[in-house]
Structure 1
């Protein structure tokens, strides 16, 4: 059977650094997707130029040298790469910690580090020359009309500049709203992008006068100006690419969308909620995606009355109240918690993938182990009797927990991930085969409900979860949920609804 797609696929999941290439296209680094794409600004066509699975793991920013080479900061492994015009890669350095902002000035290459105590450096022939240190998390930077490098301090709301050949850094602006990138237009006006929910851009002219532009682009990340002084902006939160006009109007060149897939849930009112790494999001009636709240590192999600319970693959489980915007931390330090469900007594049941455990978190936030010694539990679900089921995408099965033991319900499946119970059946997504399977809980018989789903099996070698304390890219997982009307919802390049 075919499903109804509630949201459009996202051609640019997680758009970060942007730079114009020699061919006139705008190149986009995609940290979450682990790839680099090129966008034709006239047609909006997107071509993947550097696919995932190659030497570059987590591209965050890029720049082009005078000879047409692309230089890339690979954030979490701490590497800087050169991709020559022929498409071959050379490692420039791996001596930096969390390199992010990058720019070329003629044949010279400059990079900064996104960490407390970071540096601005010049890379020459494999050597590192420090221009400035003590950065409070650097990010996208650019040469100014005065010949100095301008860069943000993300943690302190400041912008600094430093001469290319060294000297004391100088404070340019402070009390700037959540600065993430600095860019100059063709007239020399400094634009400082905010990473917050309102999409604020602070303009600072040569006299230091400021004006604010509220774009509405959630989670601005970077910008580039073309020869006609048109400004194009990226969003780490929703992806896509937009032209931002001086009066605040937006023209979407590439429509935004989900960055996942991750977890999905449906509340009692029938509203769909998805965990989308940097935010909670939901489908809108036009087939697009609405950002409900910037909630950094949200992956698993389950509705519980008026509340939402969330997991972050970086170790946290929390409860979020959409009415008040308040979050309560329920557990910390877990080993990649992913799927989550709620028992009748209010306890949270969580798949702790990297620990090979399924755990419960009670109302007092005490963590207890329901089963351990598992391979890689990804999602959990409960039947009407509150029995716990989990999917294991490494072991290829769906299991029920009985007295701490994993009892197989279905085996020899293709990397099952998302899990949801409806009546006497449990549904799961076989990511290896791209299909939705229903399994009878009483007989074990199963059937295929849908095929050719836009899901992918887990990576053979997941990217590093942490480096220098900085979270790396999470593992995508295809979440499943059952709505109040009995429909099954799948997170797969957006949200798909199946009336099974």
Structure 2
């Protein structure tokens, strides 16, 4: 029985040794990805998917479905949970398990931007400025300076597990507080915070469409909602299975969803049909338990 973690490191997988009377057989296929976490489109038009469990970043051609590993397991990027790109094509990754944020240049060179950010998670480049947050109790929101030696600039603190964030048309940073079911915004200059809406079921990201609409996925129920940033009013635009980790929206306004529980990635219609064009089939990511 193949073990892809062993194969990645050039090792031989160890076959399971069974006690007499027991049998072992594969019940589900493995996911092509090691889970699917944060996503962002690169300047080449491909969809880049972070995989924290597999320490890997994979680029997907959304037309053909072709996959290419950009940052491989065992490389310099460890446990990436989210990715973002600047105008120079540099890819920033938040390493949720190592407290690091790294920058990968287009030529493949990787450098550490910061190594003192526990549970670094959400990342966005907004007006060519780099912002990250920490997904933990008493999490913090920072601006980072990848091109000089300035330390991270604290914008807000004592946030209850913020996650994937984005800059809005009003110049504010929008992010979810996952356990509270809330969306908040922060002024990146003053640090002033304001609640946008509440009552969501484990919202995991905040992203804006090309037309400026705020879209939020809910891991708890599989719904994606559009939120009016002035009134907080919510409307469901798509519904899939629970376990959504993140979303990305292409230049044409098409919605793509990732699932951390099964590694699935799909384009999902927002016309009420919930029609899905699967790019990466859902599969088995890891042993969460036995019964």
Short-chain TM bin: 0.7 to 0.9
- 1:152 counterpart (176, 183, 187): 176
Question: Aligned equivalents of 1:4 and 1:150: distance in 2?
Answer: 46
Deviation at 1:9, TM superposition (A): 3.9
Is residue 136 from structure 1 mapped to residue 160 from structure 2 by the alignment? Answer: yes
Note if contact 1:188-1:206 (Cα within 8 Å) is conserved in structure 2. no
Note if contact 1:117-1:133 (Cα within 8 Å) is conserved in structure 2. yes
Q: 1:229 to 1:214 in 2, by over 3 A?
A: closer
What is the TM-score of this pair, normalised by structure 2?
Answer: 0.86
Is residue 47 from structure 1 mapped to residue 68 from structure 2 by the alignment? Answer: yes
| Correspondence for 2:112 | 91
Question: Secondary structure of 1:24's partner?
Answer: coil
RMSD: 1.8
Question: Aligned equivalents of 1:164 and 1:6: distance in 2?
Answer: 49
- 2:204 counterpart (180, 197, 201): 180
| Correspondence for 2:54 | 33
Structure 2, unaligned runs of 5 or more: 2-23
Note if contact 2:185-2:195 (Cα within 8 Å) is conserved in structure 1. yes
How is 1:56-455 mapped onto 2 (pairs within 5 angstroms)?
56-124=77-145, 125-126=148-149, 127-196=151-220, 198-208=221-231, 209-213=233-237, 215-246=239-270, 247=272, 248-260=274-286, 262=287, 298-299=288-289, 301=290, 308=291
Question: Secondary structure of 2:204's partner?
Answer: strand
Who wins on radius of gyration, i.e. which is larger? Answer: 1
How many residue pairs end up in the alignment?
Answer: 263
Deviation at 1:189, TM superposition (A): 1.5
Note if contact 1:10-1:240 (Cα within 8 Å) is conserved in structure 2. yes
Question: Aligned equivalents of 2:113 and 2:188: distance in 1?
Answer: 19
Deviation at 1:205, TM superposition (A): 2.4
Deviation at 1:229, TM superposition (A): 0.3
Deviation at 1:210, TM superposition (A): 1.4
Is residue 24 from structure 1 mapped to residue 45 from structure 2 by the alignment? Answer: yes
What is the TM-score of this pair, normalised by structure 1?
Answer: 0.51
Note if contact 1:176-1:202 (Cα within 8 Å) is conserved in structure 2. no
* Higher fraction of strand: 1
**Structure with larger RCO (C-alpha < 8 A, sep 6+):** 2
Deviations 1:254-296 (CA, angstroms, capped at 9, x unpaired): 1111113x3xxxxxxxxxxxxxxxxxxxxxxxxxxxxxxxxxx
- 1:14 counterpart (25, 35, 39): 35
Deviations 1:10-47 (CA, angstroms, capped at 9, x unpaired): 21230000001111100000011110000000111111
